[in-house]
Amino acid sequence: MEKGLSQLQLAQSIGHKSLSIVSLAEIYHNNQHFNIEHLVKIAYVLDVNICDFFPKYEN
């Protein structure tokens, strides 16, 4: 949302024709999730560091 991209625009930017990969992964429907290749592409498209997708845990 911050980058102003729709789910369809993001999906197309990472090489998919429909938004289903994005929408299903967002809600974790039927265990659908992004793989590391998706995350690399999404980070590039959004111009963010891939580490931003992983929360930092403190013990």
Check residue 21 and give its pLDDT: 76
Task: Give the predicted TM-score (pTM) of the model.
Answer: 0.72
Residue 25 located in a structural domain: yes
Residue 2 located in a structural domain: no
Instruction: Quote the number of domains for the chain.
Output: 1
Q: Give the residue-averaged pLDDT of 11-15.
A: 88
Quote the Cα angle for 45-53-3, to 5°. Answer: 40
Check residue 29 and give its pLDDT: 66
CA distances from 36 to 9, 40, 42, 59 (A): 19, 6, 10, 25
**Two tokens at 43?**
């980070």
Domain with 40 in it: 7-53
CA 21 to chain centre: 9
